[in-house]
Amino acid sequence: MTGPDGRVVLSWWFIRWAVRRAGGLPLRMTPNKPRSGKKLDGVIISGGDDIAPDLYGGIRHGTAVSMDSARDAFEMKMLKHALASNLPVLGICRGAQLINVVLGGNLHQDLRQMRHITSNRRSLLPCKTVAIRPQSRLSKIQNLRRNRVNSLHHQSVAKRGQNLKISAIDSDGIVQAIERPADSWLLGVQWHPEYLPYKRTQRALFSALVAACRD
């Protein structure tokens, strides 16, 4: 699992537990601790700071937003390695957005004005309903057509990256999940499944990733 330098963030402990519960061995990687000597079977790009808009043709606004250029560079390198090596990849929130950027897509930089039915309120608890595309990888993993998820983001996928398909949207039509329907296992979700460990459908995402790593 990739993440920022410095203190261990809360999401790491939740993802670590989810991966272990699914039968995997979690390893934390950061820009200063890339663990380059380790053999990886899969990659999780976790949530966090905004991606620098320069990387996808966005605009740097005057308002202060939290960004981490070292993490951007490190995780883009990790993603490109994973894609070239056909490693399974799960992107969570920022991770889903980064997958899209690396594959040539761009982002909505601020969703607040786009929400008319859904709320801009941030919550770790399931507060938003998403519709899942039938026959998508996500649908097969969760065995659902609709799901309740949490929401901690203010950006999302806009123009899709190369060969990516939208596999879930919310009631405002905002992209909530992307995937690549090819031989490689690549899935990005805009919500945080690690914070919903009591939901079997969210644990299933980590189980599917670990199963893909075994394969």
Is residue 172 included in any domain, yes or no?
yes
- For residue 75 the two structure tokens come to 């995780």
Domain membership flag for residue 2? no
Q: State residue 8's pLDDT score.
A: 82
CATH number at residue 83: 3.40.50.880
Amino acid 66: pLDDT:
83
What is the 3-class SS of 25-80, one letter each residue?
CCCCEECCECCCCCCCCCEEECCCCECCHHHCCCCCCCCCCCECHHHHHHHHHHHH
Confidence at residue 38, expressed as pLDDT on a 0 to 100 scale: 81
E strand map for 16-138: 43-45, 89-92, 107-108, 123-132
Per-residue model confidence as pLDDT tens digits over 70-100:
999 999 999 999 999 999 999 999 999 999 9
Q: Is residue 213 annotated as part of the catalytic site, yes or no?
A: no
Is 73 inside any structural domain? yes
Judge whether residue 62 has pLDDT over 90. no
Q: Is residue 137 part of a domain?
A: yes
Name the one residue in this structure whose structure tokens are 């309740």. 148
- Active site residue: 75, 108, 153, 194, which one? 194
- Residue 93: active-site member: yes
Q: Point out the catalytic residue in the list 75, 153, 179, 192.
A: 192
Catalytic, out of 93, 108, 153, 179? 93
Q: Is the pLDDT of residue 175 over 90?
A: yes
Residue 63 pLDDT level (bands cut at 50, 70, 90): low
| Residue 128, domain extent | 10-214
Decide if 104 is inside a domain. Answer: yes
- Residue 192 among the catalytic residues: yes
User: Can you tell me the distance from the alpha carbon of 145 to that of 16, in angstroms, rounded to the nearest whole number?
Assistant: 28
Mean pLDDT of the chain: 94
With respect to residue 3, please indicate whether it lies within any of the assigned structural domains: no
In three-state secondary structure terms, 176 is strand
Q: Is the dihedral of CA 157, 160, 166, 171 positive or negative?
A: positive
Residue type (1 letter), 14 = F
pTM for this prediction: 0.95
Count structural domains, the chain.
1
